[in-house]
Structure 1
Amino acid sequence: MSTKFIASGDCFITRAVPENGYSGFTELKSLIESADVRFTNLEMTFHDQEGYPAAASGGTWAMSDPRMLDEVCKYGFNLFNTANNHSGDFGQEGVMATIKHLKERNLVFAGSGKNLREAARACYLETGEARVALIGITSTFDPAAVAGGPSLDLIGRPGLNPLRFKTYHHVNDEHFRMLKELAEISEINNLRTLKTQAGYLAPLPDDTYPFGKLTFKRTEKKEHNETVLNQADLERTIQEIKEAKRQADIVLVNLHAHEFLGLDMARPAEFLRIFAKKCIDAGASVVIGHGPHELRGIEKYSDGLIFYSLGNFIFQTETVERQPAEAFTNMGLSADSQVGDLMDKRSDGGTRGFVAQKTIWSSILPMWEVKDGKITSVVLHPIDLQQQEPRSRRGSPRPTKSEEILLQLRALSKEFNTEIRIQDSKGYIDMNESK
């Protein structure tokens, strides 16, 4: 017997599904419900102002009525991630309120919890043929949103499961010298110097130099940027995968990540590629990525699959009901402005930003089948989020027969040596071909 999976990217839902659905809804729902395991990323907090707006957000302060969880479920999903850059938009109270509303509905989710142990723990979905585990983690977040572990004297902190990393900028001798000169002139490192002298910070090696929050290394090789995984976060995840592999038949890892290479948002950062492969090595079957709101390539690795980003599924950011004062004042508006004013200003009347970016408004739903622990088939179903519709209806998904998004994904996947065959407006990946 086999188990069928389907997954989507970001679900930023602010509007109910119409009573009688909408064009393409029934077809989409039937597709999703044809799978045993049906995953989406909840890029939203769900509560009725049960948390306080955080000082910083993931962009838009993401809060939706708890009843929107019921609307998400109308699409047929039964497995959810809550670790992303919006998890902490309403502080620890918002985290716990969202968890409360998820549990009231008996929804299976991973990625956040009342402490780090709970946030990092796998959740388990029971299906007819397999028990499936999901671990949720994110590399994109405000530091205040990170879950904390308890000490001997204090309880842990509610929040998300973090994947931290460090960026090193490797520069040649000349640039290293210039960096030091600029630091001395600007006095940007004075506080760090005093903390190091007082013993609160450890001295850095001679070939490493800070510049404010940045860290530079001297190199004799080609100048480049390097991203390095936080070993504690990596090890915690690997151990949880190994435990989940003992307790379930199939393990999934969900990774929410915005980080990219150079100026190309579609290319995942170095540390994300390393992390995803280590997850497969530890026993995960598939790594499901999202975060940049657009597609990234697909990589076959060992016997597993890595979807570096599935883009958007529901993207209704423009019709969020409430925003805090900072959302308006950060855009040069008065604190008593309306949400419509904010959206008009941010998009310059719909001419820039996400609303004008074509790749934001189309994506795929990958469906794959696992038999005896092996992925036997992969089919990619394109979806359209109706960019051409007005704000009031934009962002709701429907199936599409356009092959443009599949051609884009095929081009993105060439970097990973993954071939995508396009036939009858669907994409196919042969898992039997050499990897």
Structure 2
Amino acid sequence: MIVVAYFSMSCRNKTTTTTPKNKADSSLKVRKIKDTISIVAVGDMMLGSAFPSKLNLPPDDAIHSFKAVDSFLKGDIVFGNLEGCFLNSGNSDKCKGINPNNCYAFRMPDRYADIYKKAGFNVLSIANNHVGDFNAKGRKNTARILDSLQIHYAGQLNKPFEIFEIDSVKYAFCAFAPNENTVSIKNIDSAKMLVSALKKQADIVIVSFHGGGEGANFEHLTRKTEIFFKENRGNVYAFAHGVIDAGADVVLGHGPHVTRAVEVYKNKFIAYSLGNFCTYGMFSLKGPNGFAPLLQLKINSSGDFLYADVISVKQDKINRLTVDETHTAFLKIKALSNADFPGNNLLFKDTNRIILRN
């Protein structure tokens, strides 16, 4: 109910346009939005944490983090999951009583935010288990910096959604997770109420979620509530279908740190996990954790799926983020989608394209 109340309050001061009684007293024009909308989407991103030591920052100070994929990060929407906060100093409460070098708490230097901006990212999810690693101080500083750079974001309880316009298209973006201070992925009815309200305000509604178990043992969808380390990580299948039923046009998942299946449901595209995209430091990059898709999605003005291209990327501790010429992520998506959704309506062509079957 917190989410719905927030939405109601935020809309009180919005002006509405009434339909003119006749053509003569109208200066209004019918707003036509573009026929094809381009959405670029990637998974988890954390460019280097200065906690517990600056030794955990990359040798180039993260400046070249996206160099190998710069040419692909171009679209109306360029989305990713911000797996950590921006904060120059401070300790994490989650590391009390344990060796900080074995504690997964991420704070990127404030200056790293501009690297995301210059790379092209204009929408970020802050609904995950690491944005709050440094409590309210980290969350507030992250919001302040993203606001200053005019990067759109959502997912914390104090900002469950954002509505914005790009090239005459009005977007609504909202994000969900099972973690403290985030908009809950576990309350599907509440999520549907928010999405339904947002659809009345926007042309295209994009939903992001951080959910599901982690690692190679959780590549497949169970269509059940997923438990990882005794934590309820949500039923991502029921969540994705529920928000599309409520009006979502695109659903983008992350959190498992591995690539998962994709699906087109009611003509709307779902990516169940976009994996580790650009994650420096303590993130495991072994096996499937080291491969991920860079998704180039095309939808029409009604939000319906047209096609998607998958640029397969890989990471290792030495070369960091590079393009994967063996197309591992695309082939993994193909295999998992066909296994988890037998008889699906998708055709995986060549080494990178996803289209609907005739």
TM-based fold match above 0.5: yes
Partner of 1:29: 70
After TM superposition, give the deviation of residue 3 of structure 1 in Å: 1.4
1:124 equivalent in alignment to 2:167: no
After TM superposition, give the deviation of residue 293 of structure 1 in Å: 0.8
Structure index of larger Rg: 1
Cα pair 1:384 1:399 within 8 Å, conserved: yes
The one-letter amino acid of 1:90's match is F
Cα pair 1:51 1:93 within 8 Å, conserved: no
1:65 equivalent in alignment to 2:109: yes
Cα pair 1:53 1:61 within 8 Å, conserved: no
How far, CA to CA, are the matches of 1:24 and 1:256 in structure 2? 22
The one-letter amino acid of 1:10's match is D
How far, CA to CA, are the matches of 1:254 and 1:20 in structure 2? 25
Distance 1:43 1:401, change over 3 A: same
How far, CA to CA, are the matches of 2:256 and 2:103 in structure 1? 12
User: Could you say what secondary structure the match of 1:278 adopts?
Assistant: helix
After TM superposition, give the deviation of residue 50 of structure 1 in Å: 5.2
Distance 1:74 1:243, change over 3 A: same
How far, CA to CA, are the matches of 1:413 and 1:260 in structure 2? 18
Partner of 1:400: 324
Cα pair 2:172 2:205 within 8 Å, conserved: yes
After TM superposition, give the deviation of residue 362 of structure 1 in Å: 1.4
Partner of 1:300: 264
The one-letter amino acid of 2:122's match is N
Distance 1:16 1:420, change over 3 A: farther
1:38 equivalent in alignment to 2:78: yes
User: Could you say what secondary structure the match of 2:81 adopts?
Assistant: strand
Equivalent of residue 265 in structure 1, options 205, 218, 221: 218
The one-letter amino acid of 2:266's match is S
Partner of 1:191: none
Cα pair 2:314 2:324 within 8 Å, conserved: no
Cα pair 1:134 1:251 within 8 Å, conserved: yes
Deviations 1:253-310, CA, capped at 9 Å, x for gaps: 101013379x831123412111110010000011100111110101111121111101
What is the TM-score of this pair, normalised by structure 2? 0.75
After TM superposition, give the deviation of residue 59 of structure 1 in Å: 5.9
The one-letter amino acid of 1:265's match is F
Cα pair 1:382 1:402 within 8 Å, conserved: no
1:426 equivalent in alignment to 2:346: no
RMSD across aligned C-alpha pairs, in angstroms? 2.8
Distance 1:268 1:377, change over 3 A: same
User: Could you say what secondary structure the match of 1:77 adopts?
Assistant: coil
Distance 1:20 1:284, change over 3 A: closer
Equivalent of residue 93 in structure 2, options 34, 53, 64: 53
Distance 1:71 1:89, change over 3 A: same
Structure 2: unaligned runs, 5 residues or longer: 1-33, 49-56, 225-234
User: Could you say what secondary structure the match of 1:119 adopts?
Assistant: coil
Partner of 2:183: 161
How far, CA to CA, are the matches of 1:298 and 1:362 in structure 2? 16
Cα pair 1:4 1:368 within 8 Å, conserved: yes
How far, CA to CA, are the matches of 1:241 and 1:29 in structure 2? 32
Distance 1:260 1:375, change over 3 A: same
Q: Structure 2 matches for 1:256-335, cutoff 5 A?
A: 256-259=210-213, 264-269=217-222, 270=224, 271-318=235-282
How far, CA to CA, are the matches of 1:124 and 1:298 in structure 2? 26
Cα pair 2:185 2:211 within 8 Å, conserved: no
Give the count of matched residue pairs: 298
Cα pair 1:123 1:134 within 8 Å, conserved: yes
Deviations 1:82-128, CA, capped at 9 Å, x for gaps: 0101122111222222212222222210012xxx3x332x2123211
1:80 equivalent in alignment to 2:119: no
1:247 equivalent in alignment to 2:281: no
Partner of 1:6: 40
Deviations 1:148-196, CA, capped at 9 Å, x for gaps: xxxxxxxxxxxx22223xxxxxxxxxxxxxxxxxxxxxxxxxxxxxxxx
How far, CA to CA, are the matches of 2:195 and 2:176 in structure 1? 12
The one-letter amino acid of 1:86's match is H
Percent same amino acid among aligned pairs? Answer: 24
What is the TM-score of this pair, normalised by structure 1? 0.63
How far, CA to CA, are the matches of 1:354 and 1:379 in structure 2? 28
Partner of 1:380: 309
Cα pair 1:110 1:119 within 8 Å, conserved: yes
How far, CA to CA, are the matches of 1:48 and 1:371 in structure 2? 41
Distance 1:354 1:21, change over 3 A: closer
Equivalent of residue 176 in structure 2, options 131, 137, 143: 137
